[in-house]
């Protein structure tokens, strides 16, 4: 039976991938250094995974963890635009050097395929919408650049060493287990938890920036398809819903879902932010047979329910 290794598997997206693999009866190994992940994220299926606490920056330990693995789903990263602006070297170590380590360890161990969590932030602030994979990238934050460097390493490892790699450019993923507690947390986790506590959400800028918010189960689906599709090797795919919504509209929808009337507080725009983001997902649909099955509003409803429970326990 194949062994799947999920790096960053105690994090938000990683733990959702792990859960699905476990539900499908797969053998799963998880590594995480808890820089942004939590063991709590694995609680309900902890005894069904081989968990190892380690940092992908530690190549010797990583090599041991990769032994015998067939597929790597590489989610470990410091996943924040503003944090990369404040600490580019720390982010670079995790996001670029860490990714190089994962690829090298995979190549050395004869892993079948590495699926890499790339980012739509590589597109930067170019005017063209929707974003297509063939567009020229022009990142405007260290994070966008780093995530793009990871993709380039993946493609190089495919062509130079014959290691099968696939890069998935995620667009603003949200859903259960996204940690709302850091100033770097994803916007929806911050809005939902603030508004559930009766607080006004803080919008950086005028709220007219838009994102292609993607419910996490769609991203899980794309990862599993990318492991096995013969048309995926050495390629880059957008993973999103192919739609966009402004932050002002998000607040309106949340007020409706929660039965509240909370007005946003507007603060200055964040450095490194892009204005609009929306994906063309044709390539993933055609090559991976990816279909986003949970749309924005349904995903938001599911996420609100999850945070209600989470906040009761906190």
Residues of this chain that bind ligand UD1 (CB under 6 A) = 79-81, 119-121, 170-172, 184-187, 190, 202-204, 209, 211, 247, 270, 273, 277
Annotate 237-273 with DSSP letters as a single string.
Answer: EEES-S--EEHHHHHHHHHHHHT--PPPEEEPPPTT-
Taking the complex as a whole, the smallest distance from the CB of residue 202 to ligand UD1 amounts, in Å, to: 5
Closest CA to 275 of 136, 147, 133, 124: 124
Shortest separation between residue 171's beta carbon and ligand UD1, angstroms: 5
* 81, 273 Cβ separation under 8 angstroms: yes
Of 50 and 208, CB closest to ligand UD1 = 208
Helix (H, G, I), strand (E, B) or coil at 45: helix
Q: Which pair of structure tokens corresponds to residue 284?
A: 């993933």
Distance in Å, CB of 161 to ligand UD1, minimum? 26
Our CB check for ligand UD1 shows the closer of 184 and 310 to be: 184
Q: How far is the CB of 44 from ligand UD1 (least distance, A)?
A: 23
Which one, 64 or 270, has the nearer CB to ligand UD1? 270
> Alpha-carbon distance 24 to 46, whole Å?
15
DSSP E strand stretches across the chain = 3-7, 27-32, 50-53, 71-74, 113-119, 164-170, 173-174, 202-204, 210-211, 214-215, 235-239, 245-246, 265-267
Residue 277 or 287: the one with the smaller Cβ distance to ligand UD1 is 277
The smaller minimum CB distance to ligand UD1, of residues 159 and 199, is found at: 199
Q: Is the Cβ–Cβ distance between 111 and 160 less than 8 Å? A: no
DSSP state of 131: B
Q: Which two tokens stand for residue 299?
A: 């995903």
The residue (of 121 and 167) whose beta carbon lies closer to ligand UD1 is: 121
CB of 200 to ligand UD1, least distance (A): 11
Residue 170 CB, nearest approach to ligand UD1 (Å): 6
Give dist(CA 185, CA 201) in Å, integer: 13
From residue 133, alpha-carbon distances to 29, 45, 53, 58 in Å are: 31, 36, 34, 32
Q: Which is nearer to ligand UD1, 70 or 205 (CB)?
A: 205
Nearest distance in Å: CB 263, ligand UD1: 14
């Amino acid at each position: 039976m194949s062994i799947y290794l999920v790096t960053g598997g105690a994090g938000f997206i990683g733990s959702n991938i792990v859960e699905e693999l476990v539900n499908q009866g797969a053998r799963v190994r998880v590594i995480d250094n808890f820089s942004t992940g939590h063991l709590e994220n694995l609680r309900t299926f902890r005894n069904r995974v081989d968990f190892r606490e380690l940092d992908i920056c530690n190549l010797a330990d990583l090599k041991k963890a990769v032994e015998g693995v067939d597929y790597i789903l590489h989610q470990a990263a410091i996943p924040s635009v503003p944090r990369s602006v404040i600490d580019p070297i720390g982010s670079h170590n995790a996001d670029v050097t860490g990714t190089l380590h994962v690829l090298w360890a995979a190549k050395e161990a004869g892993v079948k395929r590495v699926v890499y969590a790339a980012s739509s932030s590589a597109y930067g602030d170019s005017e063209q919408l929707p974003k297509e994979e063939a567009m020229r990238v022009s990142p405007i934050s260290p994070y966008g650049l780093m995530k793009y460097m990871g993709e380039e390493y993946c493609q190089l490892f495919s062509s130079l060493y014959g290691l099968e790699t696939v890069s998935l450019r995620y667009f603003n993923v949200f859903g259960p287990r996204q940690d709302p507690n850091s100033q770097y947390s994803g916007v929806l986790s911050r809005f939902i938890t603030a508004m559930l506590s009766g607080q006004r959400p803080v919008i950086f800028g005028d709220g007219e920036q838009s994102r292609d918010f993607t419910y996490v189960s769609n991203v899980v689906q794309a990862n599993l398809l990318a492991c096995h599709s013969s048309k995926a090797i050495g390629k880059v795919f957008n993973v999103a819903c192919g739609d966009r919504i402004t932050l002002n509209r998000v607040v309106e929808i949340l007020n409706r879902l929660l039965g509240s009337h909370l007005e946003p507080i507007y603060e200055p725009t964040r450095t490194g932010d892009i204005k609009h983001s929306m994906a063309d997902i044709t390539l993933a649909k055609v090559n991976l047979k990816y279909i986003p099955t949970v749309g924005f509003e349904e995903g938001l409803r599911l996420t609100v329910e999850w945070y209600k429970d989470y906040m009761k326990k906190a």
